Amino acid sequence: MPPNIVDVRANMPNYETYKDWNRNATILGITIHHPATADRSTGGPTGDAYSYFNYHVNGRGWAHGGYNYVITGDGAIQYALDDKIAAYHAGFNDPDNSEGLEYGQYWNNHYLAICLSGWFSTDRTYQDGGETHVIPDNDTYPRQAQLASLMALIRHLRQSYDILVENVRVHRELTGNATQCPGLNMDPAQIRQQLRQDPSPPSPQPTPQPGEHVILVPDTDIYLNAALTYIWKFQPDVSFAPQAAAGKWRYITAIGPIGDDLRAEYKHRGAQIVDHIAGEQAPIIQQLDDLVAKNQRFLSYEEPPPDPTQPVTYTVQPGDSLSKIALQFYGKASLWTVIFTANRDIISDPGRIRVGMVLKIPPNP
Ligand SMILES: [Zn+2]
């Protein structure tokens, strides 16, 4: 969790009635909002989760407030509505489901809502006594502390829900929503650009099936004793014949004196992982016990590179068209026909693809 998060869920109006509700839908994205309110004399951000929720519930009659998180002007993150509850933040009227977006509820069902206190545009005014007054041009951009909290929160949520960078959006980017929210001074492209530069998480460790992983132990009691805890924990096959191991196991943990040539031979004959733990008995025990303590079977793991001759798949997102997808994968919108041809079994009209369809994307022609 980001460090400056404050859990205020139970303090929100009407909490007892909705606290056990459940969105019953997969969380796929994040939407950023602003309340479009500013202090009339300073132009700075005003309000917090409680005042927004109070307005939504007691002013507008909603069952609960419209955001999952609020980031106040000082950068504090308020966790206001549980992630498991769909916030009313970007629904639109579509009784015939003509957009194919769950009758206008797609964004509410699948996207979390974060609201940054403030009003992020210029030309802000308010009405009073029949006159229009100008709000001073301060804080027309989110404050640094707010942006820092926003990025930390998005990173945390992306990790929790495996959210694609493309699905981190601002309100005005959502189909069916005619709004400038969260103000034209909030640039979603910049946020996504920063997220794309984040280092990717380490590859997951493979989980071998029985018979796929072996520990190779040179034929002495010393090395077998060194490996006992590891063997007990991970239950690999055990072989005392390193010379005969090539081609027999997918994952190999070799301990003690096993030569470079032999390890290259294992790789050459199809082993995906060849770990080598060299040295004397004591350092070998130390390394194997470290792996056991970390519940980590392998020292290192590199994803095998994708095979460029095999088609990949892509799940259609809201707002996609075949030409947009072709542009994304091939750099050329006109190559949409390649994708259409490869998916004739599920697409009848190339002008109408549905959100959630899984398309085969052939290699770049
Ligand atoms: Zn909004």
How much distance in Å is there from the Cα of 86 to the middle of ligand 1?
Answer: 15
Average pLDDT over residues 71-97: 97
How much distance in Å is there from the Cα of 35 to the middle of ligand 1?
Answer: 7
Residue 1 pLDDT greater than 70, yes or no: no
How much distance in Å is there from the Cα of 67 to the middle of ligand 1?
Answer: 9
How much distance in Å is there from the Cα of 151 to the middle of ligand 1?
Answer: 18
How much distance in Å is there from the Cα of 115 to the middle of ligand 1?
Answer: 8
pLDDT at 83: 97
CA–CA dist 251, 205 (Å, integer):
11
Burial 57-84 (b: 16+ CB within 10 A, else e): beeeebebbbbbbbbbbebbbbbbbbee
Average pLDDT over residues 272-279: 88
Average pLDDT over residues 82-103: 95
Residue 35 pLDDT greater than 70, yes or no: yes
How much distance in Å is there from the Cα of 104 to the middle of ligand 1?
Answer: 15
CA–CA dist 15, 298 (Å, integer):
47
How much distance in Å is there from the Cα of 75 to the middle of ligand 1?
Answer: 19
How much distance in Å is there from the Cα of 113 to the middle of ligand 1?
Answer: 9
3 state SS of 337: helix
- 362 prior amide bond cis, ω within 30: no
Quote the tokens at residue 103. 């009758």
Is the pTM higher than 0.85? The answer reads no
pLDDT at 293: 86
How much distance in Å is there from the Cα of 46 to the middle of ligand 1?
Answer: 16
CA–CA dist 156, 168 (Å, integer):
13
| pLDDT tens digits for range 208-246 | 889 999 999 987 777 888 899 999 999 999 999 888 899
How much distance in Å is there from the Cα of 181 to the middle of ligand 1?
Answer: 5
How much distance in Å is there from the Cα of 296 to the middle of ligand 1?
Answer: 44
How much distance in Å is there from the Cα of 94 to the middle of ligand 1?
Answer: 18
Instruction: Please classify residue 216 by burial: count the beta carbons closer than 10 Å to its beta carbon, then call 0-12 exposed, 13-18 middle and 19+ buried.
Output: buried
Going by C-alpha positions, the residue among 260, 200, 250, 256 that lies closest to residue 226 is 256
First-to-last alpha carbon distance for the chain, in angstroms, is: 44
Q: List residues, by chain if needed, whose CB lies under 5 Å from ion ligand 1.
A: 33, 171, 181
How much distance in Å is there from the Cα of 143 to the middle of ligand 1?
Answer: 18
Mean pLDDT of the chain: 91
How much distance in Å is there from the Cα of 139 to the middle of ligand 1?
Answer: 18
CA–CA dist 150, 144 (Å, integer):
10
How much distance in Å is there from the Cα of 71 to the middle of ligand 1?
Answer: 14
How much distance in Å is there from the Cα of 3 to the middle of ligand 1?
Answer: 25
CA–CA dist 109, 104 (Å, integer):
10
Average pLDDT over residues 8-16: 97
pLDDT at 315: 85
| pLDDT tens digits for range 135-154 | 999 999 999 999 999 999 99
Q: Report DSSP letters for 111-148, one per residue.
A: EEEEEESS--SSS-EEEETTEEEEPPSSS-S--HHHHH
Give me the percent of the chain exceeding a pLDDT of 90.
65
Going by C-alpha positions, the residue among 218, 236, 220, 217 that lies closest to residue 291 is 236
